[in-house]
Structure 1
Amino acid sequence: MKRTEIKSYSLEEMKDKYIGKLGTLEREAYEYELRMEMLGKMIKAARLERNLTQEQLGQLVGVQKSQISKLENSSNSATIDTVFKVFKALKADIHFNVTIENQYLQLV
């Protein structure tokens, strides 16, 4: 009986093959959408942790409930100002990491 070896692939290899290599427009669009989706999930999780409805959070931020829904479902690009207001209303800290050519930038 002949034994066949199964090749396994890393997630990065799969993304390179099916989405595009880092730096390509397709991959950049994918990575951006992924980050926006994660941001939406973080907003929703923080809102639920604070026991707020979308409408209540919208009132705290000064936007309509529909805007909060769009943020949570990453169906629109939020301004950085709106994101800051949302997290401030949720009494949550935001931390940013900036990386250039695999090196973290730090403010001193």
Structure 2
Amino acid sequence: MEKMKFYTEEEIMDKHIGKKGTLARDKFEEDLQSFLIGEAIKKARQSKNLTQEELGNLIGVQRAQISRIESGKNLTLSTLARIFKAMGISAKLEIDNLGKVALW
């Protein structure tokens, strides 16, 4: 029986997207983080039984903008703050030795 080689996620990413620190890899990871944040916003909105249009009305944007945000596009810290405030979600970051820092 032939011995199978197993690859780590890192090895696969390096081969198919690029090594860490390269432009392609940095862009991929940035897009992935935006997508994941967008998905979290979508799940939070749905858990509050809000439509995209209703959330848009709460923060003063069109439904189409909420759709783009949930797909990871047009995502800024300012918009995140408005969305989280509108849905009553607190945002805290843990920054190394500073401890937890509230964004609002």
Give me the TM-score of the superposition, normalised by structure 2.
Answer: 0.87
Listed one character per residue, the Cα deviations across residues 26-72 of structure 1 (whole Å, up to 9, x for unaligned) are 10000000000001100000000000000110111111111101101
Q: Which residue of 2 aligns with 1:78?
A: 75
Q: Which residue of 2 aligns with 1:106?
A: 97
User: Which residues in structure 2 correspond to 1:42-61 (within 5 Å)?
Assistant: 42-61=40-59
Q: Which residue of 2 aligns with 1:5?
A: 3
How far, CA to CA, are the matches of 2:21 and 2:36 in structure 1?
A: 20
Partner secondary structure for residue 52 of structure 1: coil
1:90 aligns with 2:91: no
Q: How many residues align?
A: 99
Percent identity over the alignment?
41
State the 1:97 CA deviation: 4.8
* Structure with bigger gyration radius: 1
Distance 1:58 1:26, change over 3 A: same
Where in structure 2 are there 5+ consecutive unaligned residues?
100-104
How far, CA to CA, are the matches of 1:58 and 1:24 in structure 2?
A: 36
State the 1:96 CA deviation: 3.1
Q: What is the Cα-based RMSD across aligned positions, in Å?
A: 1.4
Where in structure 1 are there 5+ consecutive unaligned residues?
99-104
Distance 1:7 1:16, change over 3 A: same
Structure with more of its chain in helix, by fraction: 2
Give me the TM-score of the superposition, normalised by structure 1.
Answer: 0.84
Distance 1:12 1:85, change over 3 A: same
